[in-house]
């Protein structure tokens, strides 16, 4: 009986194809077909994450920055610089998500990594981490 | 109020979130105390993970490191943990607070106090999972650990650094034996620290135990690690390891500690539950394949250290509960092969009124005489022999057939010995009390006393000796072989007492 | 008898003078003497030895009985001494047993006194400890509630007063600190 392929190996294959320059649409169709055949459509999101991580390890980072207000270009470029320093990424694509609930500050989410400097997180930490009971 | 505001201020000042890009994972699914996590490729086996929930951080430790996901066992309730929550690496393995600050406290498997007292602040923390001391770091067991129970100290002596299993059916007095041993450490001022681990024991039972230890003045030198059947299986799993870490603190600092694991059967069951939920393949009786390793690595940490390492010791009294006296079941045989002997408690003996219900035939101590006080050793030589001869002839005694004089005398001697070895709970005997009592029977001084009156005669003998010959008994209590003079003293007193209880 | 009386009557007439004067018939006398002698001889041979033997035996028995009685008396006296001695010993032992029992009971009383005293002390200490625990618990609750209130208040205030410009400065500072 053939062993089922692990998600990581599938993601590795898809990532290699992407880096080789194969069209995204083509890869996604292949992936979708594989998932449907193997009845693993629930894992679609996870495979995407794995592909993102694999590709990020090879210098292509897709990051999401969450903030309470829309970020200026200056701030975005500072963030790009920061990400480049800490990940040795050569190709960074930044997406700014505006969420009032974070109240202030910024949260940088990279594949498999995160830096959370939002006010909301600090307040949650204040509420929970220093509780005695 | 000022103190309170100071604390709040310091909390706000200390508040800081991430300083750098942390490795994060995400919860895929959670249930039955197990969380499956995506990401965290750098997680190590048994490393602590921190799950960020709205109610605070819930810790877990990684046990299943698979290619696509990590299976982590939650160290708390899974009610606050939900899929999609972020998980971070703590960067260290599981540790618990260790040190003398824990003495007299009741804590849970993670070292958090559950006795309603002040929070425990220790200077050091010990790793829950730790490798046992190597061969060269050990010394052979040679110091006695007096349990105060005559049957054990005379026939199956336990030494410091030994592992002696207590095995029997339910309600046969297994925990009672360990409580008496703990009480004896306080009574005789041995300086041995007790660490009692309740693995999945009813909270009412633990509460009663704490109350009793308090009454007997033992709690100040005891640490109680308590987990109840309502706690998650992960806590039951780590409880004995965490408690051993607490005991190892004393061992590694030239002290002596006594570990009581009550009981390892429930520990194996909790581990089985965890393993099955982690989808590990089940083996015999649905236990995972490494259930032997579960107990062997725990019990190997109990040792007598060499003089170079401080000469400390960690003695273990694991308890196993059998079903219908079957000591050849899976878990009992596993643990019997790991320990240095066992004390087997039989239901039949218990209901016959022989308490402690120790089976002299099936119990053994593999360390034996090397760990026995010289005083007790000198009088107990004939004890085991007398009892085994009695056992052979016991059936004849029941039939009451005409017996020859020597058989009759063996039966009588055996009956008296059996009566003598009965001991009420919470009344451990000191060295001199054991020596005097055993000598009175084995040397024949109490041969004229009816077996039913032996306990009364023993009480009278001990009272007389403690009042009229206090100095001699204090000398005998030191443990050295009794001198001729002391033997004579015991002889005369015993004979005088025997006259009063003549048949 | 008839022959003898006839013989006596015949002989009476022959020597009648002296003996008849005395009223004694000498033939009868001789006969009677002979008869008496025969009787004595018979008695002496058969009866007397046997009689003497039984008398001797009786005498011996009496003597033996007398000696035995003496002995018995002596033995009785001796055993009475022994009994007295045993009684004395028993009394002594009984006294010892009573003393031991008294000692044991007094020890037990002392021990139970000490135990109850200890128990009372423990109850007091437990009550004190419980009080301290309750105070500590109240403190802890207050601490936690205050934290929550602070966080809530801060959240509300920041939500209302924080501006984009202030946020920009905050983010720049955060990035600088993490570098």
| pLDDT tens digits in sequence order for chain A, 133 residues long | 567 788 889 999 999 999 999 998 999 999 999 999 988 888 888 899 999 999 998 989 999 999 988 988 988 998 898 888 888 888 899 999 999 888 888 899 999 899 988 888 888 888 877 776 6
- Percentage, residues of chain B above pLDDT 70: 98
| 8 Å CB contact of C107 and B463 | yes
Length of chain C as a residue count: 179
Give a yes or no: residue A119 inside a domain: yes
| Res. B503 pLDDT band, cuts 50 70 90 | low
Pick from C90, C103, C118 the residue to mutate for testing the B interface (most B CBs within 10 Å).
C103
Do A48 and A23 share a structural domain? Answer: yes
Domain membership of residue A112 (yes or no) is yes
Does a structural domain hold residue A13? yes
Q: Are residues A28 and A50 in the same domain?
A: yes
A66 and A114 in a single domain? The answer is yes
Residue A2 is predicted with a pLDDT of 64
Q: Are residues A26 and A81 in the same domain?
A: no
* Omega of the bond leading into B140 within 30 degrees of 0 (cis): no
Sign of CA dihedral B410, B414, B420, B421: positive
B residues 112-131 lying closer than 8 A (beta carbon) to C: 116-118
The predicted structure's pLDDT at residue B484: 93
**A114 & A98 share domain:** yes
Among B18, B20, B57, select the one facing A129 at the smallest CB separation: B57
pLDDT per position as a tens digit, B325-367: 999 999 999 999 999 999 999 999 999 999 999 998 889 999 9
Mean pLDDT confidence for B223-247: 96
In whole angstroms, what is the distance from residue B359 CA to residue B350 CA? 10
Active site residue B366: yes
What average pLDDT score do residues B85-110 get? 95
Q: How far apart are CA A100 and CA A77, in angstroms?
A: 22
Taking the mean position of all CA atoms in its chain, how far away is CA B313? 14
The residue among A56, A73, A94 that closes a domain is A56
- Domain-embedded: residue A1: no
- Is A100 in contact with C175 (Cβ distance < 8 A)? no
Neighbour-count burial for B243-266, b at 16+ CB within 10 Å, e otherwise: bbbbbbbbbbeebbbbbbbbbbbb
Range from A75-79, B82-86, B406-410 carrying the lowest mean pLDDT? B406-410
With contact defined as beta carbons under 8 Å apart, do B241 and B270 qualify? no
Q: Which residues in chain B touch residue C179, judged by CB atoms under 8 angstroms apart? A: none
In angstroms, the separation between the Cα of residue B338 and the nearest Cα of chain C is 41
Pick from C145, C155, C173 the residue to mutate for testing the A interface (most A CBs within 10 Å): C155
Chains contacting chain A through 3 or more C-beta pairs under 8 A? B, C
In contact, B184 and B216? CB cutoff 8 Å: no
Judge: B20–A115 Cβ closer than 8 Å, yes or no: yes
In tens, the pLDDT along B129-160 reads 999 999 999 999 999 999 999 999 999 999 99
- C28-63 core/surface letters (b: 16 or more CB in 10 A; e: else): beeeeeeeeeeeeeeeeeeeeeeeeeeeeeeeeeee
* A99/C contact by beta carbon, under 8 A: no
B459 touches chain C (CB under 8 A): yes
Residue A42 lies in a domain: yes
Indicate the number of domains in chain A: 2
B25/A contact by beta carbon, under 8 A: yes
B17–A8 C-beta distance less than 8 A: no
A106 vs chain C: nearest CA distance in angstroms?
Answer: 6
Residue B427: per-residue pLDDT: 93
Q: Rounded CA gap, B456 and C99, in Å?
A: 15
Q: What are phi and psi of B224, to 5 degrees?
A: -115, 125
Contact A85 C170 (CB under 8 A): no
Q: What does the alpha-carbon distance between residue C95 and residue A96 come to, in Å, rounded to a whole number?
A: 102
Instruction: Name chain B contacts of A116, Cβ cutoff 8 Å.
Output: 17-18
Cβ-nearest to B23 among A6, A86, A112: A112
A68/A123 same-domain check: yes
- Count the Cβ atoms, other than its own, within 10 Å of residue C79: 11
Q: What is the pLDDT of residues B281-325, one digit of tens each?
A: 999 999 999 999 999 999 999 999 999 999 999 999 999 999 999
C119 neighbourhood in chain B, CB within 8 Å? 215
Instruction: Answer whether A22 touches C (CB < 8 Å).
Output: no
Q: Which residues of chain A does B18 touch, with a Cβ-Cβ cutoff of 8 Å? A: 114-117
B399 — pLDDT class (breaks 50, 70, 90):
low
All residues of chain A having their beta carbon less than 8 Å from the beta carbon of residue C166 are 104
Helix (H, G, I), strand (E, B) or coil at B112: coil
Q: Is the pLDDT confidence value at B259 over 90?
A: yes
B21 → closest Cβ in A9, A46, A86: A86
Which positions in chain C have a beta carbon within 8 angstroms of at least one beta carbon in chain B? 93, 96-97, 100, 103-104, 107, 118-119, 122, 129, 133, 136-137, 139, 142-143, 146-147, 150, 177-178
Smallest Cα distance from C99 to chain A, Å: 60
Confidence bin at B424 (pLDDT 50/70/90): very high
Which of C151, C159, C170 has its CB closest to that of A105?
C170
| Structure confidence at residue B196 (pLDDT) | 98
Q: Which of C97, C103, C136 comes nearest B467 by C-beta?
A: C103
User: Could you tell me if residue A2 is inside a domain?
Assistant: no
User: Average pLDDT, whole number, for chain A?
Assistant: 88
Instruction: Measure the CA–CA gap between B445 and B471, rounded to whole angstroms.
Output: 22
Q: DSSP character for C46?
A: I
| pLDDT value at residue B364 | 93
Other CB atoms within 10 A of residue C169 CB: 10
Catalytic residue among B366, B413, B416, B464: B366
Interface test with C, best of B183, B499, B501, B502 (most C CBs within 10 A): B499
A116 in the same domain as A94: yes
Quick one: closest CA in A to C146, which residue? A127
The Cα C144–Cα B137 span in angstroms is 47
Residues A70 and A24 in one domain: no
Q: How many CA atoms lie within 13 A of A47 on its CB side?
A: 22
Is residue A118 in a domain?
A: yes
**Inter-chain residue contact C100 with B19, CB threshold 8 Å:** no
Q: Residue B394 has which token pair?
A: 């016991």
Tokens of A78: 């500072």
How many angstroms separate the Cα of A82 from the Cα of each of A62, A77, A85, A98? 14, 9, 5, 20
Clarify whether residues A45 and A90 are in a common domain. no
The whole-number pLDDT of residue C6 equals 55
B198 exposure class (CB count in 10 Å sphere: 0-12, 13-18, 19+)? buried
Give the closest of C97, C119, C137 to B500, CB-based. C97
Q: Is the peptide bond before B356 cis (omega within 30 degrees of 0)?
A: yes
Which of A80, A111, A116 should we substitute to test contact with B (largest number of B Cβ atoms within 10 Å)?
Answer: A116
Which chain C positions have a beta carbon within 8 Å of B20's beta carbon? Answer: 178
pLDDT tens for each residue of C16-55: 566 667 777 888 899 999 999 999 999 888 888 888 999 9
Helices then strands (H, E): number in chain C? 5, 0
CB spacing of A127 vs C151 below 8 angstroms: yes
How much is the average pLDDT of C115-120? 88
Range with the largest mean pLDDT of B477-486, C5-14, C155-164: B477-486
Q: Are residues A66 and A128 in the same domain?
A: yes
Residue ranges making up the domain that contains A128: 62-132
CA B15 to chain A, closest CA, distance in angstroms equals 7
Name the nearest CA neighbour of B51 among B103, B86, B94.
B86
- Please check the confidence at residue C67 and state whether its pLDDT lies above 70: yes
Q: Which residues of A touch B56 (CB under 8 A)?
A: 127-129, 131
Query: Does any CB of chain A come closer than 8 Å to the CB of residue B56?
Result: yes
Among the listed residues B190, B180, B177, the one whose alpha carbon sits nearest the alpha carbon of residue B145: B190
- Taking an 8 Å cut-off on Cβ atoms, the answer to whether B117 and C133 are in contact is yes
| Cβ pair B37, A112 in contact under 8 A | no
Mutate to test the interface with A, among C159, C169, C171, C177 (most CBs of A within 10 A): C171
In chain A, which residue's Cα lies nearest the Cα of B7?
A130
Q: Do the beta carbons of residue B188 and residue B252 sit within 8 Å? A: no
Question: Is residue B250 within 8 Å of B307, Cβ to Cβ?
Answer: no
**Nearest CA-CA distance, residue B8 and chain C, Å:** 7
Considering the domain architecture, whether residues A70 and A114 belong to the same structural domain is answered as yes
The phi, psi pair for B105, rounded to 5°, reads -110, 155
ipTM exceeds 0.85, yes or no: yes
Per-residue pLDDT at B369 exceeds 60: yes
Same domain, yes or no: A36 and A73? no
Residue B195's closest CA among B301, B293, B131, B106?
B106
Could you give the CA distance from residue A29 to residue A21 in angstroms, rounded to a whole number? Answer: 15
Residues forming a β-bridge with B365:
B341
The reply to whether A28 falls in a domain is yes
Distance from CA of B10 to the nearest CA of A (A): 10
Rounded distance between C-alpha atoms, residue B282 and residue B130, angstroms: 26
Could you tell me if B83 and B38 are in contact, meaning their C-beta atoms sit under 8 angstroms apart?
Answer: no
Distance CA B236, CA B264 (A): 10
Q: Which two tokens stand for residue C13?
A: 């007439």
Residue B382 is predicted with a pLDDT of 77
Q: Helices (DSSP H) in B278-401: which residue ranges?
A: 291-299, 330-338, 347-351, 374-399
């Amino acid at each position: 009986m053939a062993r089922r392929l692990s998600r990581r190996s599938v993601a590795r294959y898809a990532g290699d194809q992407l880096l080789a320059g194969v069209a995204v649409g083509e890869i996604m169709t292949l992936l979708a077909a594989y998932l449907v055949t193997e009845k693993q459509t629930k894992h679609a999101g996870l495979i995407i994450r794995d592909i993102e991580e694999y590709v990020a390890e090879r210098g292509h980072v897709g990051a999401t920055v969450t903030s309470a207000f829309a970020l200026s270009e200056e701030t975005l470029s500072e963030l790009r610089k920061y990400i480049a320093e800490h990940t040795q990424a050569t190709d960074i694509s930044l997406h700014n998500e505006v969420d009032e609930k974070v109240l202030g500050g910024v949260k940088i989410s990279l594949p498999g990594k995160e830096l959370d400097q939002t006010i909301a997180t600090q307040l949650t930490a204040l509420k929970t981490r220093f509780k005695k009971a | 109020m000022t103190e309170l505001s100071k604390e709040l201020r310091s909390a706000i000042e200390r508040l800081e979130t991430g300083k750098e890009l942390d490795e994060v994972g995400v919860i895929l699914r959670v249930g039955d105390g197990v969380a499956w996590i995506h990401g965290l490729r750098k997680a190590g086996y048994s490393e602590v993970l921190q799950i960020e929930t709205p109610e605070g951080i819930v810790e877990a430790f990684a046990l299943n490191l698979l290619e696509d996901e990590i299976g982590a066992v939650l160290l708390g309730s899974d009610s606050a943990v939900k899929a999609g929550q972020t998980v971070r690496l703590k960067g260290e393995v599981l540790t618990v607070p260790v040190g003398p600050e824990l003495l007299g406290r009741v804590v849970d498997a993670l070292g958090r106090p559950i006795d309603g007292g002040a929070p425990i602040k220790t200077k050091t923390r010990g790793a829950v999972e730790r490798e046992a001391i190597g061969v060269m770091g050990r010394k052979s067991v040679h110091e006695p650990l007096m349990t105060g129970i005559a049957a054990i100290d005379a026939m199956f002596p336990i030494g410091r650094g030994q592992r002696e299993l207590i095995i029997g059916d339910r309600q046969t007095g297994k925990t009672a034996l360990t409580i008496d041993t703990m009480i004896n450490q306080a009574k005789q001022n041995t300086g041995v620290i007790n660490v009692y681990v309740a693995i999945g024991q009813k909270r009412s039972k633990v509460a009663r135990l704490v109350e009793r230890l308090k009454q007997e003045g033992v709690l100040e030198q005891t640490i109680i690690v308590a987990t109840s059947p309502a706690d998650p299986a992960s806590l039951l799993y780590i409880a004995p390891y965490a408690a051993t870490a607490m005991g190892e603190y004393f061992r590694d600092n030239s002290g002596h500690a006594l570990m009581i694991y009550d009981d390892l059967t429930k520990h194996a069951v909790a581990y089985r539950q965890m393993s099955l939920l982690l989808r590990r393949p089940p083996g015999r009786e649905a236990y995972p394949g490494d259930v032997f390793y579960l107990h062997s690595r725990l019990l190997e940490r109990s040792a007598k250290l060499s003089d170079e390492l401080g000469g400390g010791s960690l003695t273990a009294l694991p308890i196993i509960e059998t079903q219908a006296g079957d000591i050849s079941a899976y878990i009992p045989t596993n643990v019997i092969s790991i320990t240095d002997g066992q004390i087997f408690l039989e239901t039949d003996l218990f209901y016959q009124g022989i308490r402690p219900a120790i089976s002299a035939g099936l119990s053994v101590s593999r360390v034996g005489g090397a760990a026995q006080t010289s005083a007790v050793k000198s009088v107990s030589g004939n004890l085991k022999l007398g009892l085994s001869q009695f056992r052979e002839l016991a059936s004849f005694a029941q039939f009451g057939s005409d017996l020859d004089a020597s058989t009759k005398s063996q039966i009588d001697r055996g009956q008296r010995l059996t009566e003598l070895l009965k001991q009420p709970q919470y009344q451990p005997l000191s060295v001199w009390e054991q020596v005097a009592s055993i000598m009175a029977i084995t040397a024949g001084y109490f041969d004229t006393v009816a077996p039913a009156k032996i306990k009364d005669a023993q009480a009278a003998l001990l009272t007389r000796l403690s009042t009229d010959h206090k100095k001699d008994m204090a000398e005998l209590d030191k443990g050295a072989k009794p001198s001729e003079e002391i033997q004579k003293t015991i002889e005369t007193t015993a004979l005088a007492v025997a006259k009063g209880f003549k048949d | 008898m008839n022959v003898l009386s006839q013989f006596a009557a015949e002989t009476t007439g022959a020597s009648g003078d002296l003996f008849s004067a005395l009223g004694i018939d000498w033939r009868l006398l001789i006969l009677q003497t002979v008869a008496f002698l025969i009787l004595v001889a018979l008695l002496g041979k058969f009866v007397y030895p046997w009689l003497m033997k039984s008398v001797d035996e009786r005498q011996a028995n009496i003597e033996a009985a007398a000696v035995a009685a003496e002995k018995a008396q002596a033995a009785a006296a001796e055993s009475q001494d022994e009994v007295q001695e045993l009684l004395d010993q028993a009394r002594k032992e009984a006294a010892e047993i009573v003393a031991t029992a008294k000692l044991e009971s007094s020890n037990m009383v002392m021990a139970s006194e000490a135990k109850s005293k200890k128990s009372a002390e423990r109850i007091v200490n437990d009550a004190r400890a419980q009080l301290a625990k309750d105070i500590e618990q109240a403190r802890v609750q207050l601490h936690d509630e205050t934290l929550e209130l602070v966080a809530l208040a801060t959240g509300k205030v920041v939500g209302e007063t924080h501006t984009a410009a202030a946020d920009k400065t905050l983010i720049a500072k955060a990035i600088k600190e993490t570098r």
